[in-house]
């Protein structure tokens, strides 16, 4: 009976705070700060959580835009949740039903795609609704809430894990807005996300004047007539091209694995007969397991060595992420699925449908009576979703896609929840441009129903875990079985994030100049 009363309290808190949740999301959505540079977003969370009575450690794990918050209502279990808030460069879409860049910004400035803005506010709403229910109904226990920056480069969670932040939790709820079928209004069952390595290779040409010594060389340092070393830009170019072979030679042709790259710096020589001294390229490897990640890493190291040797450079490898593959927990999945069934799928009103029809009209499509994808408006049993997900995967493949929530799975029983963000029905053969989902993620009418549904489901799950000792025991028994004895067990994978925080690289960011606030790519016009 206490649980039902607590759920009523949580639901009432969410209903009373609908406008606040919407406003909070708009703030983070418009901050739109990219990985490792989420300064305003992080500070906003820290200040709000402190106002709500949480003790907050800023810069947790040595990461400037991370935090760890704790609130306790007496002895009892400790339940965790988290926010992400990083945006993606090149997605600076306005929250309107047409393609446009937010005012005053370059099109390459960041925007929320998944959107992590709504991920964080949904989780925060569930957390604060749980806190209100605990206070009113005398439920004891502790809530922990983590600020997790740089998920787009799988940044913070391996570091938090390696530094012990997830130890001591009785359970963790991981939420993400739906991003692919069939994982919509459901929870993951067996096939969790895979392993991911991300690293920056840096090439440095320390002494370009020693490239060649011959009779024609000038005794004058940096003479315009001196032979020029190839330098760091050439090293990066060789690395980029030779590493393309890994896609064909190492990664399997099934299973959705990938390797992607991003050039962070490309030398500092702007003119004259001087080679670039420094260049950096990041690789992200999304693969099935750690053995495959290591094979790809070894190949990249060989390519870096060869590229440096050919260009009179030295090379360095710096870790950005080493995240473990996910670990299922059916007990947690079943518990959260029960909560989701009680809450139901998100409900969109006519105002949301009007926004969706306006998008269709702006694209030259005939507006539909019900423009929202049918799958977004109903629940999906996790076992059915699992069976559909497995149809196109090799039988031996245990993991699919990539996200670093998997780090939490190895420290406490963890569930992965997906609630539908709005997506549009399409005429046969038509594919919507990418800006459409970004715009839908910023419109109050289309994104708020997901936030409210997710917050309520998270609160119900947290309250069940706080009050149901048997449910916690089942989840932990399964965790210990799957890890061969729990943390440190025979099948447990240890944390890999024992490297310096990769904060100081040239990550894209907003900058202040004499021209005013700007993006690192100059604004147009």
Mean pLDDT confidence for 216-240: 76
Distance spanning both ends of the chain, measured CA to CA: 63
Count Cβ atoms below 10 Å from residue 290 Cβ, excluding itself.
19
- Looking at the DSSP bridge assignments, the partners of residue 286 are 196, 258
Read off the pLDDT of residues 60-87 as tens digits, 9 standing for 90 and up.
999 999 999 999 999 999 999 999 999 9
Helix (H), strand (E), coil (C) string for 45-111: HHHHHHHCCCEEEECHHHCCCCEEEEEECCCCCEEEEEECCCEECCCCECCCCCCCECCCCCCCCCE
pLDDT at position 226: 64
Read off the pLDDT of residues 470-507 as tens digits, 9 standing for 90 and up.
999 999 999 999 999 999 999 999 999 999 999 999 89
Mean pLDDT confidence for 170-186: 97
Read off the pLDDT of residues 446-472 as tens digits, 9 standing for 90 and up.
999 999 999 999 999 999 999 999 999
Omega before 397 within 30 of 0, i.e. cis: no
Pick the residue with more confidence: 475 or 510?
475
All residues at 6 or more sequence positions from 110 whose CB lies less than 8 Å from its CB, including other chains? 32, 33, 34, 87, 88, 89, 90, 91, 92, 508
pLDDT at position 493: 97
Helix (H), strand (E), coil (C) string for 434-453: CHHHHHHCCCHHHHHHHHHH
Strands 414-419 and 171-177, sheet pairing = parallel
pLDDT confidence bin for 525, thresholds 50/70/90: very low
CATH number of 196-324: 3.30.70.360
- Alpha carbons 8 and 19: distance in angstroms, whole number: 19
Q: With CA atoms as reference, report the closest residue to 412 among 456, 364, 472.
A: 472
Q: 187-225 burial, b if ≥16 CB within 10 A, otherwise e?
A: bbbbbbbbbbbbbbbbbbbeebbebeeeeeeeeeeeeee
159 within 8 A of 146, measured Cβ to Cβ: no
Here the tokens at position 214 are 């011959």
154 backbone dihedrals φ, ψ, rounded to 5° = 55, 50
82 within 8 A of 122, measured Cβ to Cβ: no
- Alpha carbons 101 and 2: distance in angstroms, whole number: 49
235 within 8 A of 310, measured Cβ to Cβ: yes
- Alpha carbons 512 and 354: distance in angstroms, whole number: 38
All residues at 6 or more sequence positions from 491 whose CB lies less than 8 Å from its CB, including other chains? 482, 483, 484, 485
Read off the pLDDT of residues 246-285 as tens digits, 9 standing for 90 and up.
777 777 666 678 888 988 877 666 666 678 889 999 999 9
Mean pLDDT confidence for 200-206: 94
pLDDT at position 220: 60
All residues at 6 or more sequence positions from 370 whose CB lies less than 8 Å from its CB, including other chains? 353, 425
The whole-chain average pLDDT of the chain stands at 93
Read off the pLDDT of residues 11-34 as tens digits, 9 standing for 90 and up.
999 999 999 999 999 999 999 999
Omega before 380 within 30 of 0, i.e. cis: no
Is it the case that residue 524 has pLDDT exceeding 60? no
118 within 8 A of 421, measured Cβ to Cβ: yes
Is it the case that residue 215 has pLDDT exceeding 50? no
pLDDT confidence bin for 214, thresholds 50/70/90: low
Mean pLDDT confidence for 134-145: 97
All residues at 6 or more sequence positions from 273 whose CB lies less than 8 Å from its CB, including other chains? 222, 224, 226, 228
CB under 8 A, 24+ apart: contacts of 263-268: 263/236, 264/200, 264/505, 264/506, 264/507, 265/506, 266/233, 266/236, 267/231, 267/232, 267/233
Q: With CA atoms as reference, report the closest residue to 313 among 232, 239, 234, 428.
A: 232
Domain boundaries, the chain: 2-193+325-483, 196-324
- Kindly report the length of the chain: 525
169 within 8 A of 411, measured Cβ to Cβ: yes
Q: What is the residue whose two structure tokens read 């990083």?
A: 86
Read off the pLDDT of residues 307-355 as tens digits, 9 standing for 90 and up.
999 999 999 999 999 999 999 999 999 999 999 999 999 999 999 999 9
Tell me the CB-side half-sphere exposure of residue 512, using CA atoms within 13 A. 0
CATH number of 2-193+325-483: 3.40.630.10
Lowest average pLDDT, out of 5-19, 152-166, 235-249, goes to 235-249
Here the tokens at position 6 are 């607590």
486 within 8 A of 480, measured Cβ to Cβ: yes
Is it the case that residue 131 has pLDDT exceeding 70? yes
Helices (H), 214-268: 231-242, 245-249
């Amino acid at each position: 009976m206490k649980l039902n009363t607590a759920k009523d309290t949580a639901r009432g808190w969410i209903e009373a705070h609908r406008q606040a949740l919407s406003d909070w999301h708009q703030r983070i959505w418009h901050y739109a700060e990219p990985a490792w540079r989420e300064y305003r977003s992080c500070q906003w969370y820290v200040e709000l959580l402190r106002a709500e009575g949480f003790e907050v450690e800023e810069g947790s794990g040595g990461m400037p835009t991370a935090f760890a918050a704790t609130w306790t209502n007496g002895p009892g279990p400790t339940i965790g949740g988290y926010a992400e808030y990083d945006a993606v460069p090149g997605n600076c879409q306005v929250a309107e039903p047409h393609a446009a860049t937010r005012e005053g910004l370059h099109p390459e400035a960041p925007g929320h795609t998944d959107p992590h803005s709504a991920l964080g506010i949904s989780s925060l709403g569930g957390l604060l609704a749980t806190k209100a229910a605990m206070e009113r109904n005398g439920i004891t226990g502790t809530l922990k809430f983590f600020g997790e920056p740089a998920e787009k480069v799988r940044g913070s969670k391996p570091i938090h894990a390696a530094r012990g932040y997830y130890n001591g939790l009785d359970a963790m709820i991981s939420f993400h807005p739906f991003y692919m079928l069939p994982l919509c209004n459901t929870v993951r069952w067996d096939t969790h996300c895979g392993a991911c390595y991300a690293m920056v290779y840096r090439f440095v040409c320390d002494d370009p004047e020693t490239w060649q010594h011959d009779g024609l060389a000038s005794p004058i340092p940096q003479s315009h007539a001196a032979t020029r070393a190839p330098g760091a830009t050439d090293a990066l170019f060789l690395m980029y091209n030779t590493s393309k072979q890994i896609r064909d030679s190492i990664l399997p042709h099934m299973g959705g694995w990938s390797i992607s790259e991003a050039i962070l710096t490309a030398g500092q020589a702007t003119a004259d007969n001087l080679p670039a001294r420094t260049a950096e390229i990041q690789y992200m490897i999304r693969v099935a397991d750690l053995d495959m990640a290591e094979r790809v890493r070894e190949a990249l190291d060989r390519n870096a060595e060869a590229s440096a040797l050919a260009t009179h450079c030295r090379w360095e490898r710096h870790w950005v992420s080493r995240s473990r593959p996910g670990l299922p927990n059916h007990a947690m999945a079943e518990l959260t699925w029960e909560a989701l069934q009680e809450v139901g799928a998100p409900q969109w009103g006519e105002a949301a449908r009007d926004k969706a029809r306006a998008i269709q009209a702006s694209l030259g499509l005939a507006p539909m009576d019900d423009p929202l994808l049918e799958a977004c408006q109903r629940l999906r049993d996790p076992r059915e979703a699992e069976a559909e997900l497995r149809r196109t995967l090799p039988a031996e493949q245990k993991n699919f896609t990539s996200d670093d929530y998997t780090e939490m799975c190895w420290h406490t029983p963890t569930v992965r929840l997906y609630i539908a963000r709005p997506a549009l029905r399409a005429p046969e053969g038509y594919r919507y441009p990418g800006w459409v989902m970004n715009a839908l993620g910023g419109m109050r009418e289309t994104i708020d129903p997901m936030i409210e549904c997710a917050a309520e489901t998270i609160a119900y799950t947290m309250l069940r875990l706080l009050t149901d000792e048997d449910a916690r025991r089942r989840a932990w028994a399964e965790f210990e079985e799957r890890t061969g004895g729990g943390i440190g067990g025979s099948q447990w994978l240890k944390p890999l994030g024992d490297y310096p925080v990769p904060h100081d690289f040239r990550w894209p960011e907003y900058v202040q100049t004499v021209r005013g606030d700007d993006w690192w790519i100059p604004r147009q016009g």
